[in-house]
Amino acid sequence: MTDYAKAVSLWQQKSISSGPELSAALIGHSIAFAYNSGKIENDNITYNDTREIFERDGVTSYTGDLRTLFEIRNAKEASEFFINAFDEKKLFDEAFIKDLHKRLTQNTYDTRRYQLGERPGEYKRHDYVTGKSEVGALPEDVPEEMAELLVELQEVKPENALTAAAFFHAKFENIHPFADGNGRTGRLAMNYFLVLHNHPPIIIHEEDRKKYYAALEAWDEELQLEPLKSFLREQTAKTWAKQIQRYKI
């Protein structure tokens, strides 16, 4: 049995069906996820600051910029929303994704975007360069493309959860529906989709960002999904390596 299969088996043995059960299963995971997801695009984020905000709702001796502080605080609020949404069995739909984005990006939009009318929780109104040279979907096409994407994810069987999650993440980042915060939103939304389908959530580790970006580019340039699926399998095993070792599965 591969380490990926062991991670999935360990998770499914928990039979998680409520918010409190999910919260218990994610002790330690939420902080690590928030740190790694945030640091992928903001190198000023530190594990210590993230841990303090999650555990104490504040930091000591902080000398960084306010945007970074807001991003970490937002990650905590989004994490709490994630748990509550699971408990309430919120649908994986546009309303959920917009709400998630709003929580992750409130008070972080720069002046230029705000003056252009961009707002957290709302689809973009203008084009923004993404990746090497792409701008994502045209603003006027975003609602339709997002709706089509989410329709394609209906009635996914648990055994196909990783493939569907990879497809969602690749397409979501390709569409780039928001003016900012697409990476953070896409990664956390993907994890919500996974836990809804009885699959362990995944930390995409910041030290592996180059391989992560390459996997996303494989979809952008050649519509190849396997590189991202393979990467996500590796990251799943890495995310849950300590638990696998502890329980000697």
State the CATH number of the domain containing residue 157: 1.10.3290.10
Q: Which amino acid is at 152?
A: E
pLDDT score of 130 more than 60: yes
Confidence of residue 249 (pLDDT cuts 50, 70, 90): low
- pTM, two decimals, is 0.95
What pLDDT is attached to residue 245? Answer: 85
Read off the pLDDT of residues 68-110 as tens digits, 9 standing for 90 and up: 999 999 999 999 999 999 999 999 999 999 999 999 999 999 9
**pLDDT band (50, 70, 90) for residue 24:** very high
How far apart are alpha carbons 72 and 210 in whole angstroms?
A: 22
SS3 at position 84: helix
pLDDT at 133 > cutoff 60: no
**pLDDT-derived band at 131, boundaries 50, 70, 90:** low
Q: What is the pLDDT of residues 183-211, one digit of tens each?
A: 999 999 999 999 999 999 999 999 999 99
Give the pLDDT confidence score for residue 63 in this predicted structure.
Answer: 81
Determine the residue type at 134.
E
58: Cβ contacts below 8 Å, ≥ 6 apart: 52
Amino acid in the structure at residue 191: N
Domain span at residue 12 reads 3-247
Q: 235 near 226, Cβ under 8 Å?
A: no
Confidence of residue 61 (pLDDT cuts 50, 70, 90): confident
CA distance 7 to 65: 37
Closest CA relative to residue 228, chosen from 157, 165, 174, 175: 165
Number of domains comprising the chain: 1
- Dump pLDDT digits (tens) for 25-49: 999 899 999 999 999 999 999 999 9
Percentage of the chain beyond pLDDT 90 is: 88
For 210, other C-beta atoms within 10 Å of its C-beta total 8
Q: Comparing 34 with 132, which gets the higher pLDDT?
A: 34
